[in-house]
Amino acid sequence: MEGPGVGVPAADTVSAAVDGGGVIRAWSPGAERLLGHAATDVVGRPAGILLDQAPPPGAPGPEGWRGTLRLRHREGHVIEAEVAASPIQDGGDEPRWLLLATAARPSADQLTLLGWAHEQAGESLALYDPEGRLIWGNATVRGHIGLSAEEMSGPPLDRLFAPGGDHAESRFAQPSSREGEAIREYVERIRRVAREGSHARFETTIVTADRREPVDWSVSLSPVRDPASGVIRAVYAVGTDITEQVRARERLVLLKEAGDRIGGTLDVTATAQELADTLAPHLCDLAIVDLLPQVATGGEPTAAAERGGHTMHRAAQRSIREGVPEAALSVGRLERYPEYSPPARALATGSAVLSDLGDPDFERWLHEDPVRHARTEAYGFHTMMTVPLRARGIVLGIARLLRARPEPFVGDDLLLAEELCARAAVSIDNARHYARERGTALALQRSLLPRQLQGQIAVDVASRYRPAAGRMGVGGDWFDVVPLSGTRVALVIGDVVGHGVHASATMGRLRTAVRTLADVDLPPDELLTHLDDLVSHLAEQEEAADPSAAAIGEVGATCLYAVYDPVSRICAMASAGHPPPVITGPDGTAVPVDISPGPPLGVGGLPFEATQVVLPEGSLVALSTNGLIAPRGRAIEQGQRLLHEALAEPAGSLDEICDRALGELLPERQTDDAALLLARTRALDARHVVTLDLAAEPALVATARKAAADQLVAWDLTEAAFVTELVVSELVTNAIRHAEPPIQLRLLRGETSLIIEVSDGSGTAPHLRRARTYDEGGRGLLLVAQLTQQWGTRQTASGKTIWAEQQLPGGQG
């Protein structure tokens, strides 16, 4: 008893005592069982906290009050109860009331209607005892289980439907371990709810007797308590068939996965395989993707049928079995589809075609190929869906989906397959366009790069070029080896900003410009200055053609230009924003190169500086682009160190060194073009070079002529003596008459040519002119031009050098 004069309600009575202010003063154990609240939780608190409705109007009269109230259980649900309030006569001044409550009971009509509703409900409604025995199930449950009401009683479900159980044959021809596991898990959840008194909601998949196929269920389990004792007597189960919702959810997930998976490579074959991997096993047991032969090679597709049908290229296939043993044709082969076949009809109409073993054309096509027919029967294929791959109004190929599973294709399967194939077709078409553009750019670039590098007597050379893989496309990396006068050679490498045909075309223009400027024999820094002006002009032209384009960014480039002289063994070089060369001595040690790279070409307004390095004979000079030494994630210094290590390894040919360097430096996934130009230096000694200093006296012309003749005898080149003497006589005479001292004659013996050089202290360049009939002079250079293979002039630090090169008789050297 709580408070004076109030008796404690009996333990088995659902009762409570309330004072005149509506505060609870006593609470029976029966009330605790009905509403779940302990006495310590409610005594002393307003009774209104137990109501799920507004309090009845007014206070009870002397005769008391009776009615139905909605009471709130401790766990949140509502209980309708019949409540009677009676005054307590305890002699006190304050009124008190005894509340007696019983759970509201439905009428007989209500119970009848409730029974009909449960029996006829579309959901599966069932009652299980705490061990998982089926106490009652409505008609829907009985239909799914395949048992009558009398047969449902007995052992728990996990034993009732276990393989070999009493009623296993009524539901399964041969219950699988997966199905048995689902039932065991279902029963264990029932037992847990009965044991813990908690609610449970979950999804499961169970094969039903009436449908003989997996059905997805949303199941809600609730404990059923005795209101009087609170003991859990049963578990109430509500099962809702959510198979369609699950299939729709799976389709959405598959579409998302397809969007993430298909078309990530810009490769036609890889994209076709990604489609096949998506279709099987999600939609079919065997997926085959065939493309028109032109599409497979990046060409323009034509879906026009040849006489008798279509020839298709097998691009990809995927099966639920490893190795795709069901396929009658391997990937990469051609298959011909006759006009009546389902694949040919899909190609012709551009619409999906659904075929099964009842289709005469389908069966005729299967029987036409014994291998196809045998494998169709062996693996149990009965249905085929052929979906055309259409993109931008063009049919690119077909996807064939075959099923051996019992379920035939339905309308949602067709819609899903068409959506997947449409997405894949766009990706395949993008990959086709990319392959064609990449092929064009690569062909253009290869046509512009030197096919054979001739280092002549100055250097031995080798090179490698690797275009970027994937989406980046062909870049603008380029290199060249340009023979110069005096057995010198120019080594050049560059990198144009951007990728594709535009970059390749710009690269070709720059390479041509470098060759033209090299023929003028400009020093490296001056050559880069002229090249910088050219790139700036190109940028201006691009901007004038398209003002919205960032022209300088599109035409910008880097370049490294080096000139090696095998006589002095000096290598002069200058850089326009390009990494310096890596030079390794003949003993494997690194040769330091102190070069200050200028700005990239196209920036303009800033000078370029040249530097010189004396190289031991047999040094390796490596010119490379960022794609080789500084791919993403690697610093240039680290890349140059790795390149030096590759060059310093014991040797092999230059080609072998190039291959080793690329193998060690290129990343696994190459995202930028990579170029490598490798040169091993030679040196010309007294056996190949003779020099004679001359005073500015006409009488010394004969001395120069005789010295040249004597040297040709020593070199066993007497057959070249006549032309050599004439050329020496003319060039030395011009130097004495028209130039300034010092004057020097130099003969260089190359592998197939002889070079005659006359240097003087004048910076004035000579030029050819046409002599008149009675002129006594003016024919010297014209004679030199006629007698030699080529001639020219170059500026030096002290003046100029005029040179002439003649081919040795019989190519001897």
pLDDT digits (tens, 9 = 90+) for 482-492: 999 888 999 99
Residue type, 734: N
**Residue 161, pLDDT above cutoff 70:** no
Angle formed by the axes of helices 360-368 and 370-379, nearest 10°:
110
Distance CA 556, CA 618 (A): 35
Q: What mean pLDDT is reported for the chain?
A: 84
736 class by beta-carbon count within 10 Å (0-12 exposed, 13-18 middle, 19+ buried): buried
Distance CA 540, CA 9 (A): 102
Is 455 or 426 the better-scoring residue by pLDDT?
A: 426
Is 453 or 341 the better-scoring residue by pLDDT?
A: 341
**Residue 206, pLDDT above cutoff 90:** no
The phi and psi torsions of 192 (rounded to 5 degrees) equal -65, -40
pLDDT of residue 6: 39
**Residue 160 pLDDT class (50, 70, 90 cuts):** low
pLDDT of residue 183: 85
**Residue 494, pLDDT above cutoff 70:** yes
Which of 254, 293, 284 lies closest to 386 in space, CA to CA?
284
The DSSP symbol for 630 reads S
Is 577 or 671 the better-scoring residue by pLDDT?
A: 577
pLDDT of residue 190: 94
**Residue 251, pLDDT above cutoff 90:** no
Mean pLDDT of 113-133: 90
pLDDT of residue 426: 93
Residue type, 772: R
pLDDT of residue 450: 66
**Residue 729, pLDDT above cutoff 60:** yes
Token code pair at residue 265: 């490579």
Secondary structure class of 21 (helix, strand, coil): coil
**Residue 169 pLDDT class (50, 70, 90 cuts):** very low
- The answer to which of 79-83, 396-400, 565-569 has the lowest mean pLDDT is 79-83
Mean pLDDT of 90-118: 78
pLDDT of residue 537: 84
- Bridge partners (DSSP) of residue 313 are 291, 334
**Residue 319, pLDDT above cutoff 90:** yes
pLDDT of residue 771: 44
**Residue 575, pLDDT above cutoff 60:** yes
Distance CA 311, CA 292 (A): 7
675 class by beta-carbon count within 10 Å (0-12 exposed, 13-18 middle, 19+ buried): buried
Q: How many CB atoms lie within 10 A of CB 757?
A: 20
Token code pair at residue 610: 């040249």
> Could you tell me which residues come within 8 angstroms of residue 161 by beta carbon, excluding any fewer than 6 positions away?
167, 168, 171, 172, 175, 180, 183
Secondary structure of 634-688 as H, E, C letters: CCHHHHHHHHHHHHHCCCCCHHHHHHHHHHHHCCCCCCCCEEEEEEEECCCCCCC
* Percentage of residues in the chain having pLDDT higher than 70: 86
**Residue 520, pLDDT above cutoff 60:** yes
Mean pLDDT of 32-50: 90
Mean pLDDT of 318-328: 92
pLDDT of residue 230: 81
- For 208-226, what is each residue's pLDDT tens digit? 877 777 889 999 999 999 8
Q: In what order do the strands lie in the sheet with 124-128?
A: 134-137, 124-128, 232-241, 214-225, 200-207
**Residue 376, pLDDT above cutoff 50:** yes
Secondary structure class of 476 (helix, strand, coil): strand
- Which residue, chain included where needed, has tokens 């009677």? 84
User: pTM score, two decimals?
Assistant: 0.58
Secondary structure class of 179 (helix, strand, coil): helix
- The answer to which of 26-30, 86-90, 654-658 has the lowest mean pLDDT is 86-90
- The answer to which of 87-91, 190-194, 376-380, 619-623 has the lowest mean pLDDT is 87-91
Angle (CA) 469 472 478, round 5°: 80
**Residue 565 pLDDT class (50, 70, 90 cuts):** very high
